[in-house]
Amino acid sequence: MSSKNTYILGIESSCDDTAASVLCNGKVLSNVIANQAVHQKYGGVVPELASRAHQQNIVPVVDQAIKQAGISLTDLHAVAFTQGPGLMGSLLVGTSFAKSLAYGLHVPLIDVNHMQAHILAHFIEKDGYEKPDFPFLAMTISGGHTQIVRVDNHFEMTVIGETIDDAVGEAFDKSGKILGLGYPAGPEIDKRAKLGNPKAFKFTKPKVAGLNFSFSGLKTAILYFIQKQLKENPQFIEENLNDICASIQYTIVGILMDKLKVAVKETGVNRIAIGGGVSANSGIRAALKQAENQYGWNTFVPAFEFTTDNAAMIAIVGYLKYLEKNYADQTIMATARLKL
Ligand code: KG4
Ligand code: ZN
């Protein structure tokens, strides 16, 4: 194998997906994800079950990532892992595994911030995908986070707005729960929204100062609305499901776009990248495309496989830090509330 090639293994275990990926010079050779079906019947992630499932999955997932990449463990130049933020029991599994592997292979260990990884996923080499120039604004929208971040270079990031309560993914998932949809409900709401009328029902947008978000009021408004309608028509949900989903999605996308407009105005930066599970949403993707035409923004939307939690995004941060020899040592610890 040519010595020019740099192989990085990324390991992600912050929530309910066990994932491993191998990158060669920033290009994906393998991207393996084991989803944990065990949480579906509880309507949300159960931390103890997630941790146990990570323990069962981690060895086969890493093994598969190495095999699919067509390399052997000894070809690796570094092992990168998610240090946080996330669920402690979940993070511990990936962290301990990565530490042992790096130690055993005598290669550098590299700690990665999960939220930074959602942003730097845009730097994975992929045909047809352009990388944003600096500075740009990143909106990270997932099940655990909602932030607007000013990105001045790979490692200089400033949070300029964030949610004061629920994350946007939770707004999708909790609304879905009210409607009797499975967990996580985001993808199902998205699918149904495409078939419904976004203006069928109107939900009030929260009023939050500056660049911060709030989603808990919306969830309550949806709950009361549905309860009221069900009193009059017990079949209300079944008869209007697509319209309800379209209206919820329209409202949420509107909230996100309103804040982005303020952020562009305040910073003078009109390069916008999105990341995190909710960036898979067709409504936000369409709204950003429209903003390109309407306001002249330059928008960056990740490939689908890099939107929800994955290890390729961990490995790309690993690669960028490897190039700067920015390594961790064996005393590093998983950190549930790691800041950006
Ligand atoms: O980034 P992610 O996989 O995990 C976290 O770090 O939270 O995001 C998961 C979230 C879930 O709330 C899920 O419902 C949401 O992303 N999601 C979507 C879509 N695909 C995933 N929300 C709306 N539309 C989608 N297409
Ligand atoms: Zn995530």
Question: Is a pLDDT exceeding 60 seen at residue 192?
Answer: yes
Q: What is the mean pLDDT of residues 24-47?
A: 88
Please check the confidence at residue 151 and state whether its pLDDT lies above 70: yes
**pLDDT at residue 45 in the model:** 83
Beta-carbon count within 10 A of 5 CB: 12
Distance CA 271, CA 334 (A): 33
Q: Count the alpha carbons within 13 Å of 54 in the hemisphere toward its beta carbon.
A: 29
DSSP state of 10: E
pLDDT at 100 over 70: yes
Query: Mean pLDDT throughout 184-205?
Result: 97
How many A from CA of 173 to the centre of ligand 1? Answer: 8
* Higher pLDDT, residue 40 or 182: 182
Instruction: List the beta bridge partners of residue 138.
Output: 149, 273
The number of beta carbons lying within 10 Å of the beta carbon of residue 156 is: 10
DSSP 115: H
Alpha helices, DSSP H, located in the chain = 47-69, 88-105, 114-120, 168-178, 186-193, 216-232, 236-267, 282-295, 312-323
pLDDT tens column, 281-300: 999 999 999 999 999 999 99
Block residue for tokens 């919306």: 218
Domains and CATH numbers, the chain: 7-122+307-323 (3.30.420.40), 132-301 (3.30.420.40)
With CA atoms as reference, report the closest residue to 160 among 271, 302, 267, 299.
267
pLDDT at 44: 78
Residue 169 phi, psi dihedral angles, 5° rounding = -60, -35
* 173 touches ligand 1 (CB under 6 Å): yes
pLDDT above 60: residue 277: yes
Closest CA to 144 of 37, 248, 276: 276
Cβ neighbour number for residue 298 with a 10 Å cutoff: 15
Higher pLDDT, 46 or 243: 243
**In a 3-state reduction of DSSP, which class is residue 30?**
strand
Contact in structure between 252 and 279 (CB atoms under 8 Å): no
How far, in Å, from the CA of 144 to the mean position of ligand 2?
A: 7
- Give the residue from 319, 326, 327, 305 showing the smallest Cα distance to 26: 319
Q: What is the pLDDT of residue 36?
A: 77
- Least confident residue range of 48-52, 85-89, 311-315: 48-52
Of ligand 1's atoms, which has the minimum distance to the CA of residue 143? 7
The rounded distance, in Å, linking the Cα atoms of 246 and 243 is 5
Task: Return the best residue to mutate from 13, 40, 142 for the ligand 1 pocket (most ligand atoms within 8 A of CB).
Answer: 142
Does the structure show a pLDDT above 60 at 48? yes
3-state helix, strand, coil in the chain (%, to 5): 45, 20, 35
Using a pLDDT cut of 70, give the percent of the chain over it. 99
Mean pLDDT of the chain: 96
> Which is the closest atom of ligand 1 to the Cα of 282?
26
Any idea which residue has 């055993």 for tokens? 104
Structure confidence by residue, pLDDT tens digits, 209-242: 999 999 999 999 999 999 999 999 999 999 999 9
User: Residue 40 — pLDDT band, cuts 50, 70, 90?
Assistant: confident
For residue 37, give the H/E element and its range.
none
Task: Return the pLDDT at 3.
Answer: 60
Which pLDDT does position 33 carry in this prediction? 96
What number does the ligand 1 atom closest to the CA of 169 have? 12
Of 2-16, 124-138, 140-154, 155-169, the one with minimum mean pLDDT is 2-16
pLDDT of residue 43: 77
- Determine whether the shortest distance from the Cβ of 141 to ligand 1 is under 6 A: no
Which DSSP symbol is given to 42?
G
Give the sheet arrangement for strand 7-12, strand by strand.
27-35, 17-24, 7-12, 78-84, 109-113
Q: Residue 2 above 70 pLDDT?
A: no
113: nearest Cα among 133, 138, 77: 138
* Ligand 1 within 6 A of CB of 86: no
